[in-house]
Amino acid sequence: MGEVYREINPSTRTLLGPGPSNVDPRVLKAMATPLVGHLDPDFLEIMDATMDMLRGLFQTKNPITIPVSGTGTSGMEAALCNVIEEGDEVLVCINGVFGQRMSDIVERCRGKLTTVEADWGQIIPSEKIKAALKKVRPKIVAIVNGETSTGVLHPLVEISEMAKEHDALFLVDAVTSLGGVPVKVDEWGIDICYSGSQKCLSCPPGLAPITFSEKAMQVIRNRKQKVQSWYLDMSMIERYWGSERVYHHTAPISMIYAFHEALRVLHEEGLEQRFKRHKTNGTALAVGLEAMGLKLLANEKYRAPMLTTVGIPDGIEDASVRKRLLNDYHIELGGGLGAFKGKAWRIGLMGYSSTKRNVLNLLSALENILSADGYDVERGAGVDAANKVFL
Ligand SMILES: *Cc1c(COP(=O)(O)O)cnc(C)c1O
């Protein structure tokens, strides 16, 4: 007979890592709504409202704007596998872990991969992209907007224009950026854009909102070969989310409830207000950390307000600091990824977690822990500097 385990009772944490972020209690409550069937008329209405609110968030009129069942990476797979056929030239911009992940997926889709790279913490020079475009004439240009491994927010408009000049589809990873900074799909000429539910949208992980332009849908409809993924084939998923309502896979009902509520919360706050809040809190954190003598690793001109990478000072032990933050203050930070492993902390201020209180609490907790470890920091400097931003 199986042992009967205790009911789960994890600690209440302040989630200030690279995702998931804390979830608004309204969203958790929506998840507890009783289930209906995935073709129930009430559910179809919820799907339509969800698509409508999602178009508002992506700032697009694209009919195909839906949440894919799966985490952010399923959005990445869906974006790439639907438009790549064997031998297609794909240009991927890499300045961190998630650009690398995109290239891996391109190769698994049997695309012909070309990469343009930049150092971690930097953006990719336009001339490099221009030269690569000329040389390989790709079908798709792909880039990460908010690189969560480095804290760089990459500008998109110029690359979009260059892609258009070469008649390439422009594909953008907005997993970290969507809901925290403007992502203007139509105005900026983005053909395919995907995100994740658990970062600035503050919903649990499990959905990947995605949008396809008409041009991208044409490419999908004109494929010679079937998409190699049955589950992520947009031409079939389109028939469930569109007017036909043909069963494809059972929608994760409770997650859609949650996502619907997260989008309601977001639109009640308003996009402009929400972007302003992320900017203010991100700036206050950055200024506070620098006042403590810490070094930020992303180029100052291109810092993402929702994700800050900060260098770990010499003589300070990464794991021990994060352990005490978690045990003594219930705050979760992220460790460094890839080239920044063991060298940086990643601090997220995403969605519901992006608050003045969280900024000030974190700066104060970090000050206590770092000074206990012998790091020379002027008492109160971080909190004072951050408070000046809030004033
Ligand atoms: C988190 C993240 C992903 C992957 O999302 P998962 O939900 O972990 O699958 C992809 N791209 C970026 C930029 C991310 O921050």
Among the listed residues 230, 227, 231, the one whose alpha carbon sits nearest the alpha carbon of residue 252:
231
Residue 385 Cα to ligand 1 middle (Å):
31
Mean pLDDT of 288-308: 98
Please give the pLDDT value at position 1. Answer: 63
Please give the pLDDT value at position 312. Answer: 98
Residue 196 Cα to ligand 1 middle (Å):
7
Q: Which helix (H) or strand (E) holds 346?
A: strand 344-348
Residues in the chain: 391
How many CB atoms are located within 10 Å of the residue 33 CB? 14
Q: pLDDT at residue 275 above 80?
A: yes
Instruction: Tell me if 139 sits within 8 A of 89, measured CB to CB.
Output: yes
**Whether residue 71 has its Cβ less than 6 Å from ligand 1:** yes
Q: From CA 38, how far away is CA 64, in angstroms rounded?
A: 18
Residue with the smallest CA separation from ligand 1 atom 12 is 175
Query: Tokens at residue 206, please?
Result: 């499990």
Burial of 4 (0-12, 13-18, 19+ CB in 10 A): exposed
- The residue type of 19 is G
- The residue type of 336 is G
**Whether residue 73 has its Cβ less than 6 Å from ligand 1:** yes
- The pick from 175, 177, 193, 309 for probing ligand 1's pocket by mutation, whose C-beta has the most ligand atoms within 8 angstroms, reads 175
What's the chain's average pLDDT? 97
Q: From CA 125, how far away is CA 115, in angstroms rounded?
A: 13
Query: Tokens at residue 187, please?
Result: 């105005």
107-140 burial code (b ≥16 CB/10 A, e <16): eebebbbbbbbbebbbbbeeeebbebbeebebbb
Instruction: Tell me if 180 sits within 8 A of 65, measured CB to CB.
Output: no
**Whether residue 177 has its Cβ less than 6 Å from ligand 1:** no
| 334-335 sheet: strands from edge to edge | 307-311, 344-348, 334-335
Among the listed residues 179, 192, 199, the one whose alpha carbon sits nearest the alpha carbon of residue 142:
192
Q: From CA 141, how far away is CA 263, in angstroms rounded?
A: 29
- The pick from 73, 144, 350 for probing ligand 1's pocket by mutation, whose C-beta has the most ligand atoms within 8 angstroms, reads 73
Residue 101 Cα to ligand 1 middle (Å):
10
- Give the number of the atom of ligand 1 that is nearest the alpha carbon of residue 98: 11
Tens of pLDDT, residues 307-354: 999 999 999 999 999 999 999 999 999 999 988 999 999 999 999 999
Please give the pLDDT value at position 2. Answer: 79
Please give the pLDDT value at position 305. Answer: 98
Q: Report helix, strand or coil for 119.
A: coil
Q: From CA 4, how far away is CA 159, in angstroms rounded?
A: 56
Tens of pLDDT, residues 163-211: 999 999 999 999 999 999 999 999 999 999 999 999 999 999 999 999 9
- Give the number of the atom of ligand 1 that is nearest the alpha carbon of residue 19: 1
Q: Which distant-in-sequence residues (6+ apart) come within 8 Å of 89 by Cβ?
A: 111, 112, 114, 136, 137, 138, 139, 140
- The pick from 98, 100, 306 for probing ligand 1's pocket by mutation, whose C-beta has the most ligand atoms within 8 angstroms, reads 98
**Whether residue 100 has its Cβ less than 6 Å from ligand 1:** no
**Whether residue 145 has its Cβ less than 6 Å from ligand 1:** no
Residue with the smallest CA separation from ligand 1 atom 2 is 175
Mean pLDDT of 284-310: 98
Q: How distant is the alpha carbon of residue 206 from its chain centre? A: 13
Which residues, in sequence order, are bridge partners of residue 90? 113, 140
Q: pLDDT at residue 13 above 80?
A: yes
Mean pLDDT of 202-224: 97
- Give the number of the atom of ligand 1 that is nearest the alpha carbon of residue 145: 13
Instruction: Tell me if 194 sits within 8 A of 173, measured CB to CB.
Output: yes
Tens of pLDDT, residues 81-116: 999 999 999 999 999 999 999 999 999 999 999 999
Please give the pLDDT value at position 360. Answer: 98
282-298 burial code (b ≥16 CB/10 A, e <16): bbbbbbbbbbbebebbb
Handedness of CA 228, 234, 240, 246 (dihedral sign): negative
**Whether residue 149 has its Cβ less than 6 Å from ligand 1:** no
Please give the pLDDT value at position 156. Answer: 98
Percentage, residues of the chain above pLDDT 90? 98
Residue with the smallest CA separation from ligand 1 atom 14 is 175
Mean pLDDT of 43-54: 98
- Outline where the chain has alpha helix (H): 25-31, 41-58, 72-83, 97-108, 126-136, 157-165, 214-221, 234-241, 253-269, 271-291, 318-329, 356-372, 381-390
- Give the number of the atom of ligand 1 that is nearest the alpha carbon of residue 144: 13
Residue 188 Cα to ligand 1 middle (Å):
22
Q: How distant is the alpha carbon of residue 34 from its chain centre? A: 29
Residue 6 Cα to ligand 1 middle (Å):
32
**Whether residue 70 has its Cβ less than 6 Å from ligand 1:** no
Q: From CA 150, how far away is CA 307, in angstroms rounded?
A: 8
